[in-house]
Structure 1
Amino acid sequence: MVILHVKRGDKSIFLYETQLNTLVRDIIANIIVIYNGRLKVERICSEMESLALHGTMLPPNMIGLTDEQIEELKLVDEWGDRCIPSGGFIFNKDIYGRRNGKQPLTNMQELIKKTIADAKALIASKELIAKNECLTQKQIQQAISLLKGCCTIIYPMKLPPHDVIRMEFDNIEDLSGTHASLEVIEPQLAQLWFSGKEMDPDQKLSTYLGRNDKCKVIVKLQKKSEGAPSREAVISEESRKELMLLAYKKQEEWKKLEQNDDDDYLNSPWADNNQMKRSFQGIRGNISWKP
């Protein structure tokens, strides 16, 4: 099996396991599903943190309005009255005007926090890469199922249809005009680069890696419009820091040498004219013969 260390720019994303006889096109398709799935989990986790603080989302026509404007326009959050968290709620106003302020009780908040932590652990980049563990579509689905199950426990009647969390679960999210839309990569626009060259989707992986089916290589995920990615650094970040530290120590040593007097060497033992005489007499150190 071949391990692909997938990077986006200089950032490590995850490890992906595949075979040499697999088409690059199929590899790209699977990597994109995992990559976009990770982004979905992160978006849901972010919104569920807001859910734990301020309850469900307001209808689109009420978002961003002040209480006075809502009252003047006679707008009503009908879904807010239907979707009450299990056990009741505490009112905690959302200063951004996105959610209705019906915060779940403390025990439900703790459930949300724990579920978010468990979901993030399933897709954690640094931890999985450090353990040399590959990320799979199954883990992405497990993370989404955990988050969905948590919401079902707290809101058995389901979240409002306009809540972005429910829209994410139903795969009907609208990311247009958001920063998240820039992160998502459409499958038809995805490219894989290896060793500074774009990998041809119609070629097999063995075209680039040869017959070594037990290797681990770095590949970079790009959009077609982004061009070639930056090359990998010749040395690692840790090695670079060690070299910089060594250079700094050398520089400090040279500074100290420059500050010394030119005749400072005369105080050294090897510059003593009487050293040889004393060595023949068996005398060590400076001895005064005067009383």
Structure 2
Amino acid sequence: MVRLSIKYGDANQFLYETNTNMAIDDLLREIALIYNGRLKVHRICSEIQLLAKHGITLPINMQGLTEEQITELKLKDEYEDVCIPMDGYIEEEDVTGRRNGRSPTEKMKEILNKTVQDAKDKISKKLVDANKCVTRDDINEAIQQLKGAVMIVYPMGLPPYDPIELEFKNEEELDGTQDSLDVIKEEEASLWFSGKEMHRGKKLCDYVGTNEKTKVLVKIQKKGGGAPAREPVVSEEEQKQMMAYYYRKQQEMKKLEENEDNAYLDSDWADKNSLKRQFQGLNDIKFKPR
């Protein structure tokens, strides 16, 4: 099986394993689903962290209003006394006015936060360094774990308009948000290998060959953006080493200049009698003290 290291921009995203006979159309679909699935998991994790800190989301018409304004407008959150966390709640005001400020107890918070971390680890970019692939099953498993944790802490469920609930139902509304810019739709996606676009209707082997025991770098991006930037000739680590080397050389030259260029006289190669002693076999003579 050939392994594809998927990059978006300058960042490694995940490893994907397949065979060289796979059609580019199918490959695009799979990679786009995994890429967008990882974004979805991160969105859910962010919202669950806010849920653990400030409770459920307020109705749209109550978000951002002060208590005085809510009272004056006679607004009521009908889910406030229904969607109560297990073991009760703690009052933690949300300064953004987006959530109701009834956060779960510490024990329930721990369940949510631990599950969030486990889900992130399952799809982490660090898996690239560990040479581990990410699959659609991993994405689905992470989402199911998050869903289970929310059900444990909120057995009565979440309000139907809560972003977490909408994500679980695949009814999330991303239009006009930064998250919508990150999502790459399958019909808008393009794959690039070695500076060339991988066109639909062809197979992976048309670009990377038929050797199944290879690992290649493939970039995903939106169509119309032109060719992605080429990889740097040297890696970031190699660049650091080169800069350190030239810095040391610069310091050595500076030291020579400070010593009026006479420091080299202490070097073995500057000894005019070195060759003579070498022919006479006198280089390694050691004198014993009396």
Asked whether the two chains share a fold, i.e. TM above 0.5, the reply is yes
Structure 1 residue identity aligned to 2:93: K
Name the counterpart of 2:209: 210
Matches within 5 A, 1:152-191: 152-191=151-190
Q: Is there any run of 5+ residues in structure 2 with no aligned partner, and where?
A: none
Asked if the contact 1:53–1:103 (Cα under 8 Å) also holds between the matched residues in 2, the reply is yes
SS of 2:220's equivalent in the other structure is: strand
Name the counterpart of 1:7: 7
Structure 2 residue identity aligned to 1:191: S
Structure 1 residue 40 corresponds to structure 2 residue 40:
yes
Name the counterpart of 1:287: none
Which whole-Å CA distance do the structure 2 matches of 1:53 and 1:265 have between them? 67
Structure 1 residue 148 corresponds to structure 2 residue 147:
yes
- State the shift of 1:261 in Å: 2.4
- State the shift of 1:271 in Å: 7.9
Asked if the contact 1:193–1:199 (Cα under 8 Å) also holds between the matched residues in 2, the reply is yes
1:106-128 residue CA offsets vs partner (Å, 9 max, x unmatched): 100011111111111110111x1
Which whole-Å CA distance do the structure 2 matches of 1:24 and 1:265 have between them? 63
Structure 2 residue identity aligned to 1:12: N
Which whole-Å CA distance do the structure 2 matches of 1:248 and 1:194 have between them? 36
Number of aligned residue pairs: 275
- Using structure 2 for the length normalisation, give the TM-score: 0.91
Name the counterpart of 2:97: 97
Which whole-Å CA distance do the structure 1 matches of 2:3 and 2:136 have between them? 15
- State the shift of 1:197 in Å: 0.6
Which whole-Å CA distance do the structure 2 matches of 1:52 and 1:9 have between them? 32
SS of 1:57's equivalent in the other structure is: coil
Asked if the contact 2:256–2:263 (Cα under 8 Å) also holds between the matched residues in 1, the reply is no
Q: 1:211 to 1:67 in 2, by over 3 A?
A: same
- State the shift of 1:267 in Å: 8.0
SS of 1:82's equivalent in the other structure is: coil
Structure 1 vs Structure 2 CA RMSD: 1.9
SS of 1:15's equivalent in the other structure is: strand
Name the counterpart of 1:255: 254
SS of 1:243's equivalent in the other structure is: helix
Structure 1 residue 120 corresponds to structure 2 residue 120:
yes
Asked if the contact 2:256–2:262 (Cα under 8 Å) also holds between the matched residues in 1, the reply is no
Which whole-Å CA distance do the structure 2 matches of 1:29 and 1:268 have between them? 65
Structure 1 residue 19 corresponds to structure 2 residue 51:
no
SS of 1:79's equivalent in the other structure is: coil
Which structure has the greater CA radius of gyration?
1
Q: 1:111 to 1:9 in 2, by over 3 A?
A: same
Which whole-Å CA distance do the structure 2 matches of 1:230 and 1:262 have between them? 45
Which whole-Å CA distance do the structure 2 matches of 1:194 and 1:64 have between them? 47
Structure 1 residue 71 corresponds to structure 2 residue 71:
yes
Asked if the contact 2:192–2:219 (Cα under 8 Å) also holds between the matched residues in 1, the reply is yes
1:120-157 residue CA offsets vs partner (Å, 9 max, x unmatched): 1110111x112211100000001000000001111111
- State the shift of 1:213 in Å: 1.4
- State the shift of 1:179 in Å: 0.6
Asked if the contact 1:85–1:154 (Cα under 8 Å) also holds between the matched residues in 2, the reply is yes
Which whole-Å CA distance do the structure 2 matches of 1:244 and 1:55 have between them? 50
Asked if the contact 1:265–1:271 (Cα under 8 Å) also holds between the matched residues in 2, the reply is no
Which whole-Å CA distance do the structure 2 matches of 1:233 and 1:46 have between them? 33
Structure 1 residue identity aligned to 2:194: S
- State the shift of 1:82 in Å: 0.8
Structure 1 residue 110 corresponds to structure 2 residue 118:
no
Which whole-Å CA distance do the structure 2 matches of 1:242 and 1:122 have between them? 33
Which whole-Å CA distance do the structure 2 matches of 1:253 and 1:264 have between them? 10
Name the counterpart of 1:289: none
Which whole-Å CA distance do the structure 2 matches of 1:267 and 1:28 have between them? 65
Q: Would you identify which runs of 4 or more consecutive aligned residues in structure 1 move more than 2 Å?
A: 261-272
Q: 1:209 to 1:265 in 2, by over 3 A?
A: closer
Name the counterpart of 2:235: 236
